[in-house]
Amino acid sequence: MTTEIVKQESFIAQITSDEFLGDLSRIAHAIGIADQIEKMGVTAKLYLIAETINRHGMDAALQVLSSNFGHSDAYCGMLINLVASVGLGMLKEALINSNPLALDQWREIAKAKSGDKERLYDMAVNHNPPALEMRAQVNGLPIEEQRKKDILAKLNSALKQVERFGLREEATEVLANYGYVKKMVVSPGAKR
């Protein structure tokens, strides 16, 4: 562990030097290394959560995440559901083969149907697409159509929250301000 910290400090000292920052190819290479380190960290974290669940149970995994790292219950639940959906085998394979993925890529794999998970994983490893492109591939849609579908899904989710929290009037006001609806003033006792 100590040698890793020394390596990190050396890497940080190197990438913050004026000589280093003057060379764009070095910067691009360092950004690629940082991206790979980030993906490896995410994949290792998910693998360790999966192993914790496998060996000690879901409650232990939740306790480790919430107590030791201060994650909210919602975030812990999302991580636990994600690793349960992706599976220990795929996470372990990603680490062993040095094919880690970003969290948003793992989320897309977790959401996919069982038959699509391996195909999406291979796509992510070979082409490193953003999550939007992965969703479009699974749904058989052009990227722009998937983007529209995502926006409408977010709007639907927001409207459900508006209803749940009783914010219909406030939401109507916001929508009227942007010209999406016309706000009508109805006098008391008038029929609508």
Three-class DSSP labels, the chain? CHHHHHHHHHHHHHHCCHHHHCCHHHHHHHHHHHHHHHHHHHHHHHHHHHHHHHHHCHHHHHHHHHHHHCCCHHHHHHHHHHHHHHCHHHHHHHHHCCCCCCHHHHHHHHHCCHHHHHHHHHHHHHHCCCHHHHHHHHHCCCHHHHHHHHHHHHHHHHHHHHHHCCCHHHHHHHHHHCCCCCCCCCCCCCCC
Residue 175 lies in a domain: no
> Of 22-26, 100-104, 171-175, which range is least confident?
22-26
Band of the pLDDT at 4, cuts 50, 70, 90?
A: low
The answer to the question of residue 163 being in a domain is no
Residue 161 counted as domain residue: no
- What's the domain count of the chain? 1
Task: Kindly state whether residue 72 falls inside one of the protein's structural domains.
Answer: yes
Assess if residue 108 is contained within a domain: no
Instruction: Give the domain extent around 74.
Output: 1-100
User: pTM here?
Assistant: 0.74
- pLDDT of 12-47, one tens digit each? 777 777 777 777 787 888 888 889 999 999 999 999
In a domain, 93, yes or no: yes
Residue 7 inside a domain? The answer is: yes
Classify residue 52: in a domain, yes or no: yes
